[in-house]
Amino acid sequence: MMLKKTLYAVATALALSAGLAQAEPAKPECIAPAKPGGGFDLTCKLAQSALQNSKLLEAPMRVTYMPGGIGAVAYNTVIANRPAEGGTIVAYSGGSFLNLALGKFGKYSEDDVRWLAAVGADYGAVIVKADSPYRNLKELIEATRKEPGKVVFGAGGSVGSQDWMKSALIAREAGVDPKSMRYVAFEGGGEAITALMGGHVHAYSGDASEVLGHLKGGRIKVLAILAPERLKGELANIPTAIEQGYNVEWTITRGFYMGPKVSDADYKWWLAAFEKLQGSPEFDKLRAERGLFPFNLTGEKLTASVKREVARYKLLAKELGLAAQ
């Protein structure tokens, strides 16, 4: 019996290896739906490094950039013009789900692509300057409730963006209409941090991955991490908003989707490759180097998760007075 089990395991492993070899894309490409340097680029570069370092890909993976509409141009292009490309994967983020919920991807919905793999996550963070009078999330929320016009929130992105939503959720916990809070939009996290340091805004609703370098320099305080539970590692001492009594959570997943007409064989190759990656300590290291935290989902489980997230964002957008387009 033991010999049969061993032979079966060997045969299964050989079949998986053979399947990976047979369907391996000749010209693998990762589309980053933005200009170089942002989160989409980071996600593609993570896949590029991990797949090539592990020898799962023999051919070099090309990273191409398709900016426009915070992912909308890439989403529409892949569905309408490149739906069956078995060698092409496209990076997404949790912001993609928000844009789908708000109708910003045009006529297409979350049902129009093949969701492949989530490879990591980041989490919202409420950040203030090191010498801020606010020592914890409660003090910031109470100040916002008492004098909402005096507490200025800043972040990357305009009203309706991910960063605005994080600030809006804090305002809502203070009993303040999110549309009436003082919010300053910046082009990105770097500008927002600079404004925080200069005293132009009092709180920054950024991401956990952004704060480590600033924390080590003693320039900021993190009042809360917007995760379901405390993070491990260097941020383990920072409490979540939930444990401080405020129902504010913001998870930013990162991963990949493929065109709607990609063959099952090609889709399964990528699926097997990412599942193999996610079980390796080498991948954990590459992910951590890019400031991401573990979050692994593939295939059907990821698809179900995406649908839940889009539905949740639709409800949240309605609650916060954002009309779908």
- pLDDT tens sequence across 225-254: 999 999 988 899 999 999 999 999 999 899
Alpha helices in 239-279 (DSSP H): 264-278
- pLDDT tens sequence across 250-273: 998 999 999 999 999 999 999 999
The CA-based angle 174-178-180, given to 5 degrees, is 105
Most confident range (mean pLDDT) of 15-19, 140-144, 288-292, 318-322 is: 140-144
Confidence tier at 65 by pLDDT (50, 70, 90): very high
Secondary structure (3-state) at 220 = strand
Average pLDDT over residues 65-78: 92
Quick check: 114 pLDDT over 80? Answer: yes
Average pLDDT over residues 45-68: 95
Judge if pTM exceeds 0.85.
no
Quick check: 14 pLDDT over 80? Answer: no
188-192, 200-204, 243-247: range with lowest mean pLDDT: 188-192
R_g of the chain computed on alpha carbons: 21
Report the C-alpha gap between 6 and 46 in whole angstroms. Answer: 34
| pLDDT for position 315 | 92
254: number of CA atoms within 13 Å, CB side? 25
Structure tokens at 46: 């993570």
Please name which of 171, 305, 178, 169 lies closest in space to residue 247, comparing C-alpha atoms.
169
Confidence tier at 312 by pLDDT (50, 70, 90): very high
Average pLDDT over residues 154-169: 85
| pLDDT for position 161 | 83
Confidence tier at 198 by pLDDT (50, 70, 90): very high
| pLDDT for position 185 | 87
| pLDDT for position 15 | 45
Q: What structural domains does the chain harbor?
A: 20-121+251-319 (3.40.190.150), 123-235 (3.40.190.10)
Helix 39-53 / helix 281-289 crossing angle, nearest 10 deg: 150
Confidence tier at 306 by pLDDT (50, 70, 90): very high
Q: 157 to each of 186, 231, 300, 317, how far by Cα in Å?
A: 6, 25, 31, 16
